[in-house]
Structure formats: structure tokens, C-alpha cells
Structure 1
Amino acid sequence: MKFAYRFSNLLGAVYRQGNLSFSKDGNAVISPVGNRISVFDLKNNTSETLPISTVKNITCVGLSPDGNIAIVVDEDGAAVLVSLITRAILHHFHFHKPVSSIRFSPDGRKFVVTKENVALMYHAPGKQREFNAFVLDKSYYGPYDETTCIDWTDDSKCFVVGSKDMSTWVFGAERWANLIYYSLGGHKDVIVGCFFEKDSLDLYTVSQDGTLCVWESDTELDGLEGEVIRGKAEARKDKGETKNVRFRQMSKHFFNKEGDFNNLTAATYHKQTHILVTGFASGIFHLHELPEFNLIHSLSISDQRIASVSINSSGDWIGFGCSGMGQLLVWEWQSESYVFKQQGHFNNMSSLAYSPDGQYIATGGDDGKVKVWNTNSGLCFVTFTEHTSSVTKVTFTSSGFVIVSASLDGTVRAFDLHRYRNFRTFTSPRPAQFSSLAVDVSGELVSAGAQDSFEIFLWSMQTGRLLEVLGGHEGPVSCLCFSPVHSILASVSWDRTVRLWDMLDSWQVKETLPLTSDGLAVTYRPDGQELAVATLNGEVSFWNPQTATQTGSVSGRHDLETGRKETDKITAKQSAKGKSFTSLCYSADGESVLAGGQSKFVCIYNVKEQMLMKKFEISCNLSFDAMEEFLDRRKMTEFGSLALVDEGAGDGEGVNISLPGVRKGDMSSRHFKPEIRVSSLRFSPTGRSWAATTTEGLLVYSLDGSLVFDPYDLDMDVTPASIRKQLRLQEWAPAIVLAFRLNEKALKQEVLEKVPHAQIPVVCSSLPEIYVEKLLGFVAASLEKSGHLQFYMTWAQSLLMLHGQKLKNRSGAILPTLQALQKSIQRHFDNLSKLCDFNMYNIRYAVALSKQRGVKRTAEEEEEEEDEEEEDEEMSEKMSVASIEEAELML
């Protein structure tokens, strides 16, 4: 259970390639990210990556009309049928050729797949289990070149297919006597989109050169006649009763072109509102109302090519995907505002850091950006773009409100998470490229190591001044780490030494630890009593920093198990001899260490036993280089590996093979394949998860306790019945102990919530010491999701107040639990403070409004009183006149 980490989420990448899809209710976007699928919930502002993956990068996704299943196809044509409800793979299938598009019929009974110049219609998988979920119904031939797009009529009787040969083909999904197939021309470029009008056979076709053709059919959908016996059909045709469906071009429209490079790259049509959305290579998109072709508005959302456009069921939100920038946008066209805007790192991620409470993750990338991600929602909420070159290292200060980053542009910058600004910039006297970074526990000292001058620079966070330049290393400084308890800085270098610098004693070298090979990474245990160092020979060595003695080592070269690159001339086994770990991190309890490097594997080692506990394969995507362990025979020719065969004009230069030590390959190569690697690893302070920055993105693995049965001190009499019996007898403490011995989450929650609120301190005081820690951990986990906020807060307060001294003695083991509790309380505090602020502002507004109305009312009342007084005066005058007249008459 301790290492039952499972893939939880993928951050840092929101869109790569393929088509975007909206869910049935229109509130979520389904986006392909490499060989995985991410679902972005626009209502709740969260993201989730499904725990499924294909063999290679995904190119197209087909979503069923009810939104329950999806067909996902990768670059080679391998397809998986996925349930979006259970998040599981239901069926595997292979189309054997790359698939350009896939579309379900509106009734959900069939789907069409286009590959090469063929359209294949399959029966959609039913609700019952079947041996073969994909049954081919018909194959449709017509286009001469590759097919590009599909659309269905609303009654699922016909579908239309666009092609690269500039033609559009209308096919009958069933055998119709008056429509077998129909070809439409009129375009001079590749067909990008073809769309049927609502409840009609009328068509719109859009081509890459920015041309729209409007086609009108002389037959309604009801006019399609079923196929009859051939003799009868000919007889009816002779009598003139049956006539074939014909199309004629009603009009032709052209989009405003800014130049030849501005190709139309994506299009979608919403039948209910008659809105056509088109995206262009320059990042501009247009909204037109059809069939009049009225321009609603035009906007530039990016300077990169728009690769995919989708519109939701209500027609309010439009999704745009830009593969060049890795950007995903959702635009509300009526209010002209963004509903959702996310972008990953343009190039590889290089570093990550957890905030002290585990709520945020900061990442730095080769694009010079520092992004901060919320671990609960999985979304980026702030991006800092002040760096002008690759960011090599990021870290949080102990307060959690300041992020410090080092870059190859020669600066170290500090960012404030309250005001979202760069408030400090640290520089060196001579320009230097900073490759390592560390901040001490107080947050006052900032240190950075240079990779060209072999020096370590120290600055003050308060003043921003350079305090000292530490010299002594004879090679590039590869990693820095401050001790969590003492003011000591550990630095590791390529000169095969680890130096410990005393920050209190004139910044002198306290100890020098000799290594057997070049040092690559160094990290302190959370209690500061141990040091782990990764070296170039693939070893992880452990040292006691007090006595400067080595306490153990682990050889991890065989655990890396690297694959061979396409252009490698040596085997994977020989290639692994030159690989090593480049990133290290201790677990929250300090008992194990997490290691990763130039491989697709991440290893967890037990420090005390010095053995491998578990190994995680972070990716199975064969679109990356160095994934396969053996040569692929299909890629072998009589001249050797296909990747090594020069396909050029015979100038004798041959294939460019990357030099040893080159990390990213030749970026100018036409067929550049990124190499799989782990650049940085971090355990969450809560110990419930760990994250790794890889070629794929930011992968988060977390504990999934619901799938692992881990009872504690179990006995024959520990049953749910005996636990409920104790509850009926109101024996709360024995019931809690029995529930924790059985260790079922639902039962523990039931027992805990049955305890009366007033009895909580009494129950906490009578609990055995061994169950206090377990109960505190359960309260921390429950507090994160439960709505009973005050109830669980009372439990936490009583446990900490009554058993605080005992827990303090086991501070190292209890630290992850306390940090998990702090994370839960902080999240609830943030949510409640926002809600309270909102209510407070509403109340102030209501009070001000009522006062304003009260002022108006008093003014109106004064006017009414004046009117009444005037009326009374008039009446009294009239009465007095009348009384005088009566008196005169009487006289």
C-alpha cells in the first residue's frame, strides 16, 4: 500500500494534435494530449487525464452521440474503444493504415472511418458484450486521393466525405434507389470541411484556399427511396416515377485572404444556429452565418496555425486547438470573451517544485516560462514570462508565497504569488549561465551555481545584493541543496566532489566528500541527517553529513533499462552502460528515495535496505525516441536500419547521428523525434503523491487507497457486525479501534460520524497512542472532500491538543500527515474566504441600495405630506367660505 502510486493526472500539456470534441452537454472539452486523452470541465474549471494510453500519438477521436463511448485512433491506425463513464478500455482494433477522421451517425448505430481514399462504415458497438465490437458494414470507394472529413445527415441516411483530390462525395448509408453515390467538384484545393444543412440534403463545402460552395439538392430527405427489385425499378424509371438525386451549385463565396500563406486549416458548422466557424494558418478565425455568408466577427487568437475547431451542442462555445503552441482556447462568441484559456510549455519542461502545503506545483521550461499549477484542478493559474532563455531550476521558499527561478539568461528571479510580479532579480558581476539553485529554510539566502565559471553565487532575498561568490569547484556545479535544519549548503560538481559550505562561518568549506564519478544531483533527507548523491556511473550513494562518511550506495544502472534510439548502432544493453540518474528526491518520511534520469523508468529505493522497492514506467508512447529495447524488423532493409539510410540527393553527407551527450537531438531534422527522459522529480510534502517532469509533460502519480486492502492487526472477532454492535452500545472508542483494525474507508467514516459532537474530546483522550496517528491521517484525508467541515476540524483540534507532545516526539513520521491536514485546511480557508468576501460585498451592496431607496422614499413622503397640507388648506378655505355663505343665508 505504501508504494501503490497510480497515474493521477497529466499537467503542462493541454493539446498536441488531432481533433477537439465537446461532451454531450457541451460543458467539457475532450482533447488529445500525446498518446493520452484529457477532459477539461469548463463548468467546474478542472482537468482530468484518463488513465488510458495508446501505443503512439493520437490523431483523431470519435465521440458517440450519447457521450458514453469514444473511439481513439493513433498515428499507425491502432484504435481503442474507451468508456468515458468507467474510464476503461473496452476493445482494441487495428485499421492497419493511418486514419484521417472518424464520425458516429446521429442515431449512434454506425460510424464511418476514412483512411487513404476509402470510407469504411462499421456497426457501432452495442450495449451487450460482443466478441468483435467493430463489424464492417460497407466500404465506399470514389475519391482518388486521401479523404479528409466526414459529415452525416440528421436522419443518418446519408453521409458526405471530402477529399484531397478537391472532390466531395455523397454516399447513401443504406441502399437507395435514387442515390448510390454522387460526386461534387467546384473547388481548386483540398477539402477542409463538408457539412449538411439541418434536416436537408443541402451541402456546404469549404476548401483550403478559402472557398465556400453552397450546394442545393432537388430532393428532400423523405424523397430517398429504398432499393427495389431491379426490373421494377427500371419499369418505374421508364414511367418517370423515379428520378435520381441531383445537386446544383447555388453560390460560391471567398474568405478575405491576407496572402498565399494564410490557408484555411480547420472548419466546423453548427446546424441549429447556421454558424460556420473557420480557422486559418495565421491564427485568425471567422464566424459566418449561412447560407447568406454574413460575417459575424473575425478575430486573431494566436500567431500560430489553428489545427482544430469544434463547437458545442448549444452553439455558444467554440474550442480552438493550436498544435504549434500547445494551446487550447474556448471562446464564447456572443459575449466575445474567453471561457477557457490554457497553454503548456512550448518546449520541454526542465524543473518542478511543490509548494510547502502541496497545493501548487511550479514548473520551468525551455521556453523561458515559469508556470504555477493547482494540484486540485490541474490547471495553470499564472505564467511568468520575464526570463529570456531556458529556465533550469525552480523552487519555493518555506513560506510558500515566493517562487525563485534560475535561467541560462544569467538571472535568478523571485516571483510573488500574492501580486503575481517579479519583485527581485539577482545577477552576477560577470555574465553566467545558472544551472542550479537552492534557497535556505529561512528564505533569506538564495544560491545559484554557474555551469561555465564553476562558481556559486549567494544573494540576500531582503536586499537583493550579492553577498559572496564561493569558489573551489573545478568543474560545472550541477546541483545545490540547503540543509533543512542547519545553515549548510551542499554542492555537487563534475569534479567528483560534494562540498558542504557553512553559511554561519564566513561561508567556508566545512567538509569535502569524494565521489567515484562526476556528481549530477544531491539532496538532503527531510530531517537533515542524511545526504543522497547521484553520480555519472549510475550509482546513488548515501552520506552522513555530520561525520562525512558514506553509509551506503545503490547501483541503479541495471534498473534504468534504457531503450535504443533509431539511429543507434549499439544495443540497448550497451547504451544503458552510459546512462545515469539525473534527479533525486527523498520521500516525505525519509525512508525511501525517488530517482529518475535518461530513461522511461522512475525507481523508488529503500534507503535502509538499499534495494529497489518499485519501478514505474512513465510512458509507453512509441512516438518518442529511445523507447524500444530491440530493433524493429519491419524497419530493417538490406542496407541496414531504415533510420540510418540516407534518403537525400546522394551528396555523401549521410544521416546526421546525434553526438554522445546531446540531450535533444538535431532540432533541424525533418523527422525529429523527442527522446523520452525524466528531467526532474519531487515528492509531495503530504507524501500522498509525486510528480515528474518528462518529455510527455508533468506527470502526477498519487496513492489510490481504495483499490488496496491493507488491514492492521486483524483478528477473527473484528467484523462489521461487531463494530456496529459497539456503536449501538455507544462504546465509541472501542468502535473506532475496531474500525481502524479492519481498515475499510466507508466503515471508518460511518463510525466517526456516529460519534456525538460533544463526546469528541472524551473519545480522543481515551484512544491508544498507536491509533492517534492513523485517525489523524484519516481526518486529514476526509477533511479534503467532506462537507462536514466543523465536525472534522473538531476531531483534528482535539487530537492535536490532547496528544501534541506524543506526536512531537515522532515529528519525522507524522510530518506528511500534518502537511496533508494543513493543505486541506488551507484549501477550505481559501474557498470560504472567497465565499465570505462575496457575501460581504453583496450585503454592503444591498445595504447601500436600501439606503438609496430610503432617501428617495423620504423625499416622496415629504412631497406627499406637502400635497396633503395644501389639500387640507384648500378644504378648510372651502369650508370656511361655505360656513360664511350659510351664515349669510340664515341672516
Structure 2
Amino acid sequence: MKFAYRFSNLLGTVYRCGNLNFTRDGNSVISPVGNRVTVFDLKNNKSDTLPLATRYNIKCVGLSPDGRLAIIVDEGGDALLASLVCRAVLHRFHFKGAVHSVSFSPDGRKFVVTKGNLAQMYHAPGRKREFNAFVLDKTYFGPYDETTCIDWTDDSRCFAVGSKDMSTWVFGAERWDNLIYYALGGHKDAIVGCFFESSSLDLYTLSQDGALCVWQCDTPPEGLRLKAPAGWKADLLQREDGDEDEDEDEDGAERETAVHGKAVPAAEGQRGKAKYSRVAKYFFNKEGDFNHLTAAAYHKKVHLLVTGFASGIFHLHELPEFNLIHSLSVSDQRVSSIAINGSGDWIAFGCSGLGQLLVWEWQSESFVLRQQGRFNSAVSLAYSPDGQYIATGGDDSKVKVWNTLSGFCFVTFTEHSSGVTGVTFTTTGYVIVTSSMDGTVRAFDLHRYRNFRTFTSPRPTQFSCVAVDSSGDIVSAGAQDSFEIFIWSMQTGRLLDVLSGHEGPISGVCFNPMKSVLASASWDRTVRLWDMADSWRTTETLALTSVALAVTFRPDGAELAVATLNSQITFWDPENAVQTGSIEGRHDLKTGRKELDKITAKHSAKGKAFTTLCYSADGESILAGGMSKFVCIYHVKEQILRKKFEISCNLSLDAMEEFLNRRKMTEFGNLALIDQDAMEEGGVTIPLPGVKKGDVSSRHFKPEIRVTSLRFSPTGRCWAATTTEGLLVYSLDARMLFDPFELDTSVTPAQIRAALCQRDFTRAILMAFRLNERKLLQEALESVPWDEIEVISSSLPDLYVEKVLEFLASSFEESRHLEFYLIWTQKLLMVHGQKLKSRVGTLLPAVQFLQKSIQRHWDDVSKLCDWNRYNMQYALAVSKQRGLKRPSEPPGSEEEADASEDDDNSLHLLRRGPGDGDGPLA
């Protein structure tokens, strides 16, 4: 259970491709990110990635009207029926072809899937358990080209399908007598969106060339009548009607057109077919030949039409008058998807070119959410000492800082002009130091969000790694082209020394946490140890058998781990310069075969290795990752593999499969070599020789799966990895695991509650920790009176103190009993403080987890106190100003009344607090 890490969240990527959806309450956005789905809670300012994944990138997501179910379809036609309540996959289905869109009917009984040039209607899965949740009802034919969009009427009687053949087809969900299907033309380009008017069959259609057609139907939805059945169905219905007529009393009331789904003859005046007529055609203002309309959404209640274009501009129009409300530019990339929430206040935009997700409140013209993923993959990451923040640097020359609790990026530094190669925090946690290929090392302040130090070298050079010592005063960076190590002072910013001796590019530098010793790894097959306190001289040189790719110290500084190009991890004693062990990781990497490789995966694995290493908080295990889809955790002392994690199963990435798909092989070669779809979205082309991140031209490429950086959280509860997919976070979810401790048959919930009734609190707490159920633990601890906490704390055995501290740290994140748990923490540390000093190594993760939780509450309370203090000063200043202005005014005058009114407003601001009424701006 110690390494039962599970996928927790995906950061660094907020939108990839597919359609956006709002939840039923309109407070959350559901965004497809690669082969996963992320839910952004805009009210609580949190993001959460569902623990499910498809085999390819997600193409479309259909949300049920009640918001409980979602149908997720990937590019290969595989569908997942997922429950958004329990966050689990309920059913899997294959549509046998590429699906363009999926949409539920408003009543939730049916859903339509557009596939190729046809539309298929399925019975929607119910709440009861079914053997097959996807039952095909009807297949509709009509369009000659691929279908693009779907929209339903409010009563679920009809739906419209748009196509690339410039036509829109209206189909009946039932076999209506006067409307079986209807084809609408009038456009000169592919249909992007089709929308029904509220409680009507009137239709709006939009094409890619920026044309809007308004269609009016002469038949209301209530005028649709079922077609009379023929053959054996008619005979069966006549028998049922005859049996019903014998039981029913005769009356003179006229029959309705359709009763209980059975069709009857209609009046002569109602036999006409439904007809559509175009009443208006509007054109959007085009800016250039390539400004095509790419996405559209319509809100039927407020009659709001939102359209997005290839230039990044979006328009808001009021229909049916086509009045322009607003026009704004999101970015210079195409708008891929648009969604409007239920109230019509918030509009979500997705731009696949930049990986950008925006939520805009159009009435106040303000952003509710504005997040952008990395254009290129992140290559380095670092945890803050308290575990609250993660800093990442990437090839897009940006440094982003993420909040681990909310999952949002709250600051982006853009001072670097080239790719960022290294990121690290100082021991205080308020300074980030980064190295870049632009020849600078920069220090950023997280208090004022500014670049306050810039370290440079005498000659221009490219820095490949960076490290800061435990005191935070010395900054070190390794050069890629000059083979030197540069040392600066953080206080003055001056260059202290240049360390020479390596004969190859520097691949990693790392400071000993306990001593002033710097370790540097190089391509010259050596690791050098430099003494910072003794004139920067080389104390030891460790000879390796291959090129060194990564180096790291154990948290206590007594061991050094080095990853080499021959897929080995070697362990060294830095004091005696003796190798203490090695791990062969070639078989654990299991690298896949690229789509254009001429050799097998077994032979291509010879050139792969681990490129990043990180020790666990207790130093017993090491985390390793590299040019593979697997991340391995090894036991250092036993040198065995403890667990292996597959970071992705997305086959849209390269080097995922061990064997090639023979269906792609033809007599002329691999189909991946064909460049016919290069200009289309998602096309695959052959990259230039030696280019690993794709061609810099407009051609698309298939990114290769890899892990560029790994870090354990200081709390030991989670670890993060920067990969091709984004920033993945794996954590220990204790609520989903049953992990008992020294359990025997006498420990039951009834025995625990009986001990609490007898006020035997120590025995109840010990039994609760043996059973290890969170609710029982909470009940046992909160039953202790606050004045008896010190006595109970002193009676707890030392073995249980660590578990109590871990429980208190996790309770701080969700409990409202802040003072009660603070008293528990204080008494435990005061009573057992001296005994815990001998177990610092094992208790370090628990103490850091506790520090993180308390620090977060301290930050929140300090902000609230500052807000109240400034409001009090404002209220006092206003009242003093009013008193000095009119000293001779009699009491009860108009000025005094105004002053009291201002004071009331100030006090109202004081009561409201700093966070009330503000949206979750990210």
C-alpha cells in the first residue's frame, strides 16, 4: 500500500481537441485533454482530471441532460460511457468508424451519432444495469459527404444534421407522417453549425464561408403526426384498439392526432407536408480569404449566437435580427470549440493551436477563466519545499507556477528568450531559479512576481542545468557548449568562479543537502565532486562506464545516484568514492517502436536510457523515467523493481506500441509516409532528419511519448512527471484504500464506539488506527475533550504518533475544526518532540505534509486579516475626516448622516471579506 500511487490530476494542458461542454448547473467546464477529460470547477476554482483514458485522442464528448453520464468518443471510434458522479467507466463500445459528433436528446431517451455521411440514433443508456448500453434504433441516410454537427428540438421530436456537402438535413426522431426528412441548401461551403429555435422547427444554419441562413417552417412541433403503420403492425394495432374499445365507455370527444404513440387518420386539412422557406441570409464581416468560420454555439433562451473564426476573432449576435453585440479577439489561432452555459452568462472557447481555454462573461466583459497549456512539452519541474506549488519550464521559454490544490497556473514568467532547461526552488520556497538556452540564469520572486536577478557568463553559453545550495546563497549552472560550471552569489548576483575540468557537455548538477559539495555529471563519462568550502577544488572524480545523463543526492546526502546512457543507475558513496550498487533498467524501460522505425523495439531499446532521477523522501526508493511510457520505482538497497507506472495509453503518440500495425503496410511502404493529409487537422507527416519536436513549418507531426523530469513531493504523498501529455500528478488516495495496521479479530467498529462511551479514549484511538477507517478515526479523535488532549497525547505509543500526525495533516485540508486540530498538533509535538528527533528520516514526509497544510491556512487567514485591517483603517480615516470637516455642525445634521452611511458601507465591506463576489480568475 505504500506505493499505491494512482493518477490524480493532469496539469500543463487544459485543452487539446474536441468539443467543450458545460455541466448542468453551468458552474463547470468539461474539456477534453488528449485522451483524458478534465473538469474545471469555476465556482470553487479547482480542476480535476477524471481517472479514465481512451486509446486515442478524444474527438467528441456528449453530455446527458441530467449531467450524470457522458459519452466520450476517440478518434478511432471507441466510446466510453462514463459516470461523472462516481468517476468510472460503465460501458465500452466501438462505433466501427470515425465519429464526428454525438448529442443527447433533451428528454434523455435517445442520442444521435454522426459517422461518415450518415447519422445513427441509439437508445440512451438508463440508470438500470444493462447488458448492452448502446442499442441502435435507426440509421438515417441523406448527406453525400461527411456530417459535421447535430442539434435537437426542445421536444426531442426532430434533429438536424449538417454536412460538408453544403446541405442540412432535418430528420424526425419518430416516423412522422408530414416530416420524415427535409434537405436544406443555400450555402456555398461546409456547414459548421445548425440550431433550432426554441419550441419551434425554425432553423439557423451557418457555413464555413461566414454565411447565416434563417429557415422558417410552416408546421409547429405540435403539428407533427405519426405515420399510420401498414401490414402486420396495422393488424396488431387494430386488435389492440378493438380490445380497448370493448373496455372503454363510448363518448363523443374527437380523437387526437396521436394517442399513446398509435397513429390514427388525421383530418383532411392536416395532410400537408411540412415545408421550409428561407426568410433571411446574413454574412459575417470577412477579414481576408483565410478567415473561415470554424465554430459556433447558440443559446435558445436568450437568442445569443456566438461564432468563432480561424483568425481567433469571435462575434456575439442577437437572433433573429442579427444584431452585433460584441466582437473580440481571443488569440491569433483558430477557435476550435465554443460552448455556452445554461444561464447564457458564460461562454467557453477552446483553441487547439495554443492549447488555450477561456471562459468569458460577456455581460461584464471579463474573463472567468484564462488558462493556456504549453505549446511544446515541459522539460523540467520542481516542487516547492512545502509541496503547495509546482514550477515547470519548457521549450516554449516560459516558466509556469501551478497550485497543487487547485490545479491552476497562477503566474507565468516570460523573461527567457529560449527554452528553459532547469527549474529549482530555494529552501525558503519563495524564489525560483531557472536556467535557459538563451545564456542566462534567472531568479524569480514569488512575492512580487518579478525577475529580480539575472546571472550571465563572461562568454555567451547555453545552460543545460541549474542547482541552488541548501542555504540559498550559491547558484550553480552547467554549460552545454563550453563544458564549464558557473558559480554565482544570490545576494550580489556576481560570478564567483568558473569550474573547469569536464571534457563534455554538463548534463546535471546537484548540491549535497547536508554539506557544501557540488556534484556534476557530464558526457565525458565522469561525475565530479566539488568542495564549495575549499576554493571550489575537485575532491573526487567518479569514473563511469557510459555517458552520464542525470545525477541526484539522497535527502541525507550519504548516497549519490547517477543515470547513464547504457540504461543503468549506479549508486555511489560520495565520502569514499566507492560504488555501492547498480540497477539494470533496460528491460524495465520497454520502449516502443516508432511508426517509421526500420528496426524492432527490442533493438531500438539499446539506445534508450533513464534521463531523470529522484529519491523518495525517506531515501529508500528512487524514481526513474526516460524515453519510455513507463516510470519505475526501485528499492535502492535491494536493487529490485517495486512498481512500474504506465503514464499513458494514448496511441495518438509515437513509440507507444511494441509491434507495428500490419494493416498500415502496403506494397509501396508504410502509409505514414504518405503526406496527403498534412494540411488537414491531425495529419501525420515524416519529420526532418534529426528533428525530435516536429518540423517548424505548418506540417503536423506525431509527438513521441517520453518523460523529461520527475520529482517526489516533499510530503511523500504524491509525485509529478513532465511528459509529452503534460504534467501528470500521481498521489496516494487513502480514502479509496483499505490499509489496516496491526489488525486482529477483536478490533471492530462496535468495540471502538463502546470504548468511546466508556471514555477510554486512548484505547479507542489505538483501535481506530488499527482498523484505519477515516470516519472512525475522525470520530475517535473529535470525541476527546479539548482539555484532555495533552493527557491522551502523552499516553499514545511512539509508533502511533506518526500516524496521528499524518491524519491531522490530511484533516487540515478539509475539516472546519481548525483550532481543535491545532491543539492536537501542538500537544503531540510538545510531548513527543525529544523522542521524534531520533526518527527524523522516517518522520520527515509526515512533518512536511503537516507544514504544508498549516501553511496554507496561515496564508488564507493572513490575507483575511490584512483585508480587515485595511478596511478598519479606511473606516477610521473616513470617520475622522468627517469629524474634522464640520466640527461646529449640530448633532443629527446631514453631513453626520452621510458619514455614518459611509461607515456602514465600510463595515459592510469588512464583513463581506476579500473573496466574496469575485470569480475564480486564474
1:507 aligns with 2:536: yes
Matching residue within 574, 588, 593 for 2:622: 593
1:656–1:150: structure 2 CA closer, same or farther, 3 Å change rule? closer
Match of 1:772 in 2: 801
How far apart are residue 76 of structure 1 and its match?
1.1
Show CA shifts across 1:294-351 (max 9, x none).
1111111211111111100000000000000100000000000001100111111100
Figure out how many residues of one structure are paired with residues of the other and give that number. Answer: 860
How far apart are residue 720 of structure 1 and its match?
2.5
Q: Secondary structure at the match of 1:810?
A: helix
Within 5 Å, give how 1:783-822 maps onto structure 2: 783-822=812-851
Match of 1:870 in 2: none
Within 5 Å, give how 1:832-847 maps onto structure 2: 832-844=861-873
1:692 aligns with 2:721: yes
1:123 aligns with 2:123: yes
Match of 2:458 in 1: 429
Match of 1:4 in 2: 4
1:203–1:445: structure 2 CA closer, same or farther, 3 Å change rule? same
Distance, in Å, in 2 between the alignment partners of 1:655 and 1:411 is 35
Show CA shifts across 1:176-211 (max 9, x none).
111111111111111111111111111111111111
Q: Secondary structure at the match of 2:92?
A: strand
Amino acid at match of 1:64: S
Match of 2:525 in 1: 496
Amino acid at match of 1:4: A
- 1:273–1:315 Cα contact (<8 Å) kept: yes
How far apart are residue 241 of structure 1 and its match?
4.0
Match of 1:613 in 2: 642
Distance, in Å, in 2 between the alignment partners of 1:819 and 1:631 is 47
Match of 2:902 in 1: none
Distance, in Å, in 2 between the alignment partners of 1:814 and 1:858 is 68
Distance, in Å, in 2 between the alignment partners of 1:720 and 1:172 is 58
1:547 aligns with 2:567: no
Matching residue within 333, 340, 364 for 2:362: 333
Distance, in Å, in 1 between the alignment partners of 2:342 and 2:362 is 14
Query: TM-score w.r.t. structure 2 length?
Result: 0.90
How far apart are residue 724 of structure 1 and its match?
2.5
1:131–1:146: structure 2 CA closer, same or farther, 3 Å change rule? same
Amino acid at match of 2:771: L
Larger Rg: 1
1:645–1:306: structure 2 CA closer, same or farther, 3 Å change rule? closer
Within 5 Å, give how 1:399-548 maps onto structure 2: 399-548=428-577
How far apart are residue 782 of structure 1 and its match?
1.6
How far apart are residue 717 of structure 1 and its match?
2.5
How far apart are residue 849 of structure 1 and its match?
6.2
How far apart are residue 730 of structure 1 and its match?
1.9
Match of 1:886 in 2: none
Q: Secondary structure at the match of 2:835?
A: helix
How far apart are residue 229 of structure 1 and its match?
5.2
1:139 aligns with 2:139: yes
| Higher mean displacement: 713-722 or 690-699 | 713-722
1:242–1:846: structure 2 CA closer, same or farther, 3 Å change rule? farther
- 2:686–2:701 Cα contact (<8 Å) kept: no
Q: Secondary structure at the match of 1:811?
A: helix
Amino acid at match of 1:750: E
Match of 1:224 in 2: 224
1:208 aligns with 2:216: no
Distance, in Å, in 2 between the alignment partners of 1:648 and 1:816 is 51
Match of 2:62 in 1: 62
How far apart are residue 848 of structure 1 and its match?
5.7
Within 5 Å, give how 1:556-595 maps onto structure 2: 556-595=585-624
| Higher mean displacement: 100-109 or 781-790 | 781-790
- 2:635–2:642 Cα contact (<8 Å) kept: yes
Show CA shifts across 1:115-163 (max 9, x none).
1110111110111111111111111111111111111111011111111
1:45 aligns with 2:45: yes
- 1:179–1:245 Cα contact (<8 Å) kept: yes
Show CA shifts across 1:494-533 (max 9, x none).
1110000001111000100111110000000001010000
Match of 2:153 in 1: 153
Within 5 Å, give how 1:72-87 maps onto structure 2: 72-87=72-87
Q: Secondary structure at the match of 2:571?
A: strand
Within 5 Å, give how 1:623-642 maps onto structure 2: 623-642=652-671
- 1:36–1:54 Cα contact (<8 Å) kept: yes
- 1:567–1:657 Cα contact (<8 Å) kept: no
Matching residue within 663, 674, 683 for 2:703: 674
Q: Secondary structure at the match of 2:765?
A: helix
Show CA shifts across 1:785-831 (max 9, x none).
21111111111111111111111111111111110010000111112
- 1:605–1:611 Cα contact (<8 Å) kept: yes
Match of 2:904 in 1: none
- 1:237–1:243 Cα contact (<8 Å) kept: no
Within 5 Å, give how 1:243-322 maps onto structure 2: 243-322=272-351
Amino acid at match of 1:42: L
Match of 2:776 in 1: 747
What is the CA RMSD across the aligned residues, in angstroms?
2.3
- 2:549–2:563 Cα contact (<8 Å) kept: yes
Distance, in Å, in 1 between the alignment partners of 2:668 and 2:408 is 49
Q: Secondary structure at the match of 2:813?
A: helix
Within 5 Å, give how 1:105-120 maps onto structure 2: 105-120=105-120
1:756 aligns with 2:785: yes
Where in structure 1 are there 5+ consecutive unaligned residues? 865-891
- 2:709–2:722 Cα contact (<8 Å) kept: yes
| Higher mean displacement: 97-106 or 707-716 | 707-716
How far apart are residue 783 of structure 1 and its match?
1.9
- 2:163–2:190 Cα contact (<8 Å) kept: yes
Amino acid at match of 2:833: G
1:77–1:856: structure 2 CA closer, same or farther, 3 Å change rule? farther
How far apart are residue 639 of structure 1 and its match?
4.1
How far apart are residue 493 of structure 1 and its match?
0.5
Match of 1:732 in 2: 761
Q: Secondary structure at the match of 2:744?
A: coil
Q: Percent of aligned positions with the same letter in both sequences?
A: 71
How far apart are residue 699 of structure 1 and its match?
0.2
- 1:236–1:242 Cα contact (<8 Å) kept: no
Where in structure 2 are there 5+ consecutive unaligned residues? 235-256, 258-262, 679-683, 895-922
How far apart are residue 108 of structure 1 and its match?
0.6
| Higher mean displacement: 299-308 or 220-229 | 220-229
Distance, in Å, in 2 between the alignment partners of 1:141 and 1:539 is 59
How far apart are residue 638 of structure 1 and its match?
3.1
Distance, in Å, in 2 between the alignment partners of 1:476 and 1:786 is 51
How far apart are residue 715 of structure 1 and its match?
2.9
Distance, in Å, in 1 between the alignment partners of 2:670 and 2:197 is 51
Q: Secondary structure at the match of 1:785?
A: coil
Q: Secondary structure at the match of 1:273?
A: coil
How far apart are residue 714 of structure 1 and its match?
2.5
Match of 2:911 in 1: none
Match of 1:721 in 2: 750
- 2:685–2:700 Cα contact (<8 Å) kept: no
How far apart are residue 643 of structure 1 and its match?
2.9
How far apart are residue 709 of structure 1 and its match?
2.7
How far apart are residue 173 of structure 1 and its match?
0.8
Amino acid at match of 1:256: N
Match of 1:323 in 2: 352
Q: Secondary structure at the match of 2:72?
A: strand
Show CA shifts across 1:654-687 (max 9, x none).
9957757x64355558451000000000000000
1:646–1:151: structure 2 CA closer, same or farther, 3 Å change rule? closer
Distance, in Å, in 2 between the alignment partners of 1:502 and 1:837 is 45
Show CA shifts across 1:849-886 (max 9, x none).
6667888898464779xxxxxxxxxxxxxxxxxxxxxx
- 1:158–1:170 Cα contact (<8 Å) kept: yes
Distance, in Å, in 1 between the alignment partners of 2:72 and 2:737 is 30
Show CA shifts across 1:414-448 (max 9, x none).
10000000111111111111111111111111111
